[in-house]
Structures are given as C-alpha cells and as structure tokens.
C-alpha cells in the first residue's frame, strides 16, 4: 500500500477546515512557491510527470506551457469540478474533505500561468462539496491567501455531463448552453471569455502543492515511467468495500479490486470497467493490467477518470450496455450530428435487445454505427460512448446474441 498523499487527511476530523489543513502542513507549499519564478514552478510540474487526472491524461506542465507568452490580457485558471463520469467520485471526496488543498494548488498553478482569476466549476448535484468548498474559499480569503493577486469564483453547474468537457464547461461558465467548442482554437489560446484559459481537474491541481513541497523527482517516483504521483481510484459496483482508494498508478487492476475487499455479489468476477463509463470494458481474465495511462491503453481501454466499476457474473452485460447507452443518449448535447443522432438510435436498439425484441442484424448495426461515428465529432463525448458500445458487444457477444433471435 503506497503512501497517502491526496487522501492523507481523509480520516482526520474536520479535515476540511483551514485549521486542520494548516496543522497538517497546508499552505507551506504556497509560501515556497511565492518565492519562485513562474517558469520554475512550471518546470517543476513538467518534471513531475503530472498528468491530467480528469480523464484525458494530458501532461499538465505541457498544457500550462501552451499559454501564449506575449499575451497582455487576462489568463484564466478553470478547475473542472464537474465530476460526472459514471463510476467516478474522487473529486467529491477531495472537495468535501480537503478543499484547501485545491485552493493552495490553484494559487500555485495561477502563479505558474500568470493568472489572477480562477473559476471552480462544480457539478450541480454536488451540494455538500460546494458548501464545503465555498466555506474553505471564505476561510482562505479571511486568512489572506486569496484576494492577494488571485481570486476564486465558484460556479455551480446545472447537472449536464457535457459540461465536464472542457470547452462545454467554458461555454456554460460563459452563461451559454453547455456546448463544446469547435477546436482550434484551443482553450489555452482562446478559452473562457475569449482569453487564454487552462482547465484542470480537481485532483490534478491538488497534487501541485505536494510537488512543490517534496520535489518533482519524488512525485515522479511515486508513479510509473510516464505518469507521476498516485491516483485516486473510485471503486464501485460488486466489491466488498466500495470507495476511493489512493494508490500508485503502477498497481494492477487485480490488486485494486483486492484492496476494495474483492468481488462481492456472487464472488465471481465477470468484467470490470477500469476508467469511468467511457472506458472499454475488460473481461475477468484481463485484470492483470497496470492501471496507468499506458498500461490501460495497451490493454485496449483507458485510465480515464479512474472510476473502476466491478461486475460480478450475475450482471447482464446487455442490460448494463442499455443503461450506459441511455446515459449517453440522455447526455449528448445534441450539437453535432453523429453523436446527437446515433446515441439515441443505439439506445433504442439496446433497449429493444434487452426487451427480447433484438434482430439478428442489430449487433452488427450497433458496431458499424459506433465505428462510423467515432472520431467525427466536435468533442470526445461520442468517442467515450463508443468505448462501451463496441467493447461490451465484442467481448460478450454471446450474451447479446441470445437476445437477438428475430
């Protein structure tokens, strides 16, 4: 079991308060960072191999370096706390139990990218995280950490999954419908309100104080070769003790399930979704995979948001796919055609299959439609939907065929 970094205070009483945060070493990284040049902070984060922990896994330092050097207007730091990926709830824990870590990380990140204003976009359903975080922001203002060249605006979403896509989030933040934007331009060049904007996940930014305090080399050493640090795995489904587990991303999926008390229900593993609902499913025999970005990619799936959903062998995969398909049909923003039209279509087919009215050609139609739509859309939402569409059917085709006898 690796050292707890981000979750070190989760068990501490009143861990969300400034008092406890300070007592456990909080805001010491900030003091250090304020003595360093922005470029030095950026360099430290680059060397730490910190990668975005919201889903895409993009190297954080590299993202920060995309801010135009000669920009004279404002630069915004936007925190994506619209944690909506099914099976993922780590940011909720961080916001509720260690909100000051995010604030400290934001102030340091803002210094690196020369931003004077940060936005925290919190998922609408996250009422308690929002309460805890806004209280922490007030404390930080009172204590003088905020308001001294860096301010934070807390913005609540209205419950749309697509607003977790960074440009959808920006549209929503700007007061518009949460539609992802056509890229280019990318947010680092032209983001919120037309200004260069860095959008980072909560957990990603929570890592930053630790990198400053303990050094890039230490942080990089915690992880795998291409990804530094630990990860907060949200483990749910048929496990004995579901919850958030902070582990090195060098852990295997098998070990992680064991950490969560092993498979519950029938006790016999059927399948695992390793990185939130958009990650292609792994069958029981595939769980010796290393849980970092590259390990999961090599296994044909993705680390995503590290939301691990465990299925025991009583779970019907067609039914699970129908639920997932309903989610994507419901949450598709409707902006661009392939996603808008085919998420609904595929859900209808899945629903019909589960009802026992499947046709023999339905499975091939779903696979073909999914493959044709993949990569043709404005944002990654549809590619995320395609992950389950294809993998569930390809890996468990027999189960589907049994329902498609017409």
| Residues at the site binding another protein, with contacts judged by CB under 8 A | 160, 162, 177, 182, 184, 329-338, 340-345, 348-349, 352, 359, 361, 365, 369, 372-373, 375-378
Q: Provide, rounded to whole angstroms, the least separation between the CB of residue 361 and another protein.
A: 8
Per the listing, tokens 């019907």 go with 316
Q: Which is nearer to another protein, 124 or 265 (CB)?
A: 124
Choose between 138 and 330: whose C-beta lies nearer to another protein.
330
Q: 214 or 359: whose CB is closer to another protein? A: 359
| Shortest CB 355 distance to another protein, Å | 12
Which residue's structure tokens are 């260690």? 98
For the bound state, the minimum distance from the C-beta of residue 336 to another protein, rounded and expressed in Å, comes to: 5
Query: Taking a C-beta distance cutoff of 8 angstroms, is the pair 161, 142 a contact?
Result: no
CA distances from 66 to 75, 191, 222, 307 (A): 12, 12, 26, 28
Q: What are phi and psi of 261, to 5 degrees?
A: 90, 5
In whole angstroms, the minimum distance from the beta carbon of 339 to another protein comes to 8
Q: Compute the least distance from the CB of residue 342 to another protein, in Å.
A: 6
Taking the complex as a whole, the smallest distance from the CB of residue 46 to another protein amounts, in Å, to 26
- Residue 23 or 361: which CB sits closer to another protein? 361
Nearest to 162 by CA among 391, 400, 388, 384: 384
How crowded is residue 166: how many other Cβ atoms within 10 Å of its Cβ?
30
Maximum CA pair distance of the chain?
Answer: 71
Distances, alpha carbon 305 to alpha carbons 67, 217, 275, 297, 313, in Å: 25, 24, 5, 13, 24
Smallest gap, in angstroms, from Cβ of residue 147 to another protein? 36
Token pair 């004279």: residue = 72
The alpha carbon of residue 333 and the mean position of all alpha carbons in its chain are separated, in whole angstroms, by 19
Q: Which residues pair with 231 in a beta bridge?
A: 247
- Which residue, 37 or 364, is less far from another protein as judged by CB? 364
Closer residue to another protein, CB minimum distance, 167 or 236:
167
CB count in 10 Å sphere of residue 274: 28
User: Quick one: 314 or 376, whose CB is closer to another protein?
Assistant: 376
């Amino acid at each position: 079991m690796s050292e707890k970094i981000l979750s070190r205070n989760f068990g501490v009483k009143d861990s969300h308060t400034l008092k406890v945060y300070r007592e456990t070493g909080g805001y010491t990284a900030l003091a250090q960072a304020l003595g360093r040049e922005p470029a030095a902070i950026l360099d430290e984060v680059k060397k730490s191999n910190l990668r975005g922990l919201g889903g895409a896994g993009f190297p954080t330092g590299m993202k920060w370096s995309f801010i135009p050097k000669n920009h004279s207007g404002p630069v915004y730091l936007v925190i994506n706390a619209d944690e909506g990926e099914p099976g993922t709830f780590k940011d909720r824990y961080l916001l509720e139990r260690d909100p000051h870590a995010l604030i400290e990380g934001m102030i340091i990140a803002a210094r690196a990218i020369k931003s004077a204003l940060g936005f925290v976009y919190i998922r609408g359903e996250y009422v308690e995280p929002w309460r805890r975080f806004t209280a922490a922001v007030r404390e930080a203002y009172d204590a003088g950490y905020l308001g001294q060249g860096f301010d934070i605006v807390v913005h609540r979403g209205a419950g749309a999954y697509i607003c977790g896509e960074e440009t959808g989030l920006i549209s929503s933040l700007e007061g518009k419908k949460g539609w992802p934007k056509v890229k280019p331009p990318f947010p680092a060049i032209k983001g919120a309100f037309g200004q260069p904007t860095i959008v980072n996940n909560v957990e990603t930014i929570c890592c930053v104080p630790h990198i400053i305090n303990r050094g890039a080399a230490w942080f990089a050493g915690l992880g795998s070769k291409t990804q530094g640090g630990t990860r907060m795995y949200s483990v749910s489904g048929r496990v004995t003790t579901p919850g958030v587990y902070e582990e090195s991303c060098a852990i295997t999926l098998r070990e992680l399930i064991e950490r969560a008390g092993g498979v519950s229900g029938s006790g016999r593993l059927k399948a695992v979704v390793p990185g939130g609902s958009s990650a292609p499913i792994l069958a029981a025999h595939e769980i010796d995979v290393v849980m970092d970005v590259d390990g999961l990619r090599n296994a044909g799936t993705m680390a995503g948001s590290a939301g691990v959903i465990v299925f025991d062998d009583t779970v019907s995969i067609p039914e699970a796919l129908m639920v997932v398909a309903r989610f994507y049909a419901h949450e598709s923003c409707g902006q661009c055609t392939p996603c808008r039209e085919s998420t609904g279509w595929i859900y209808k087919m899945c629903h019909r299959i589960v009802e026992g009215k499947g046709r023999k050609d339905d499975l091939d139609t779903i696979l073909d439609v999914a493959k044709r739509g993949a990569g043709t859309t404005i944002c990654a939402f549809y590619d995320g939907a395609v992950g389950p569409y294809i993998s569930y059917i390809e890996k468990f085709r027999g189960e589907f065929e049994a329902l498609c006898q017409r």
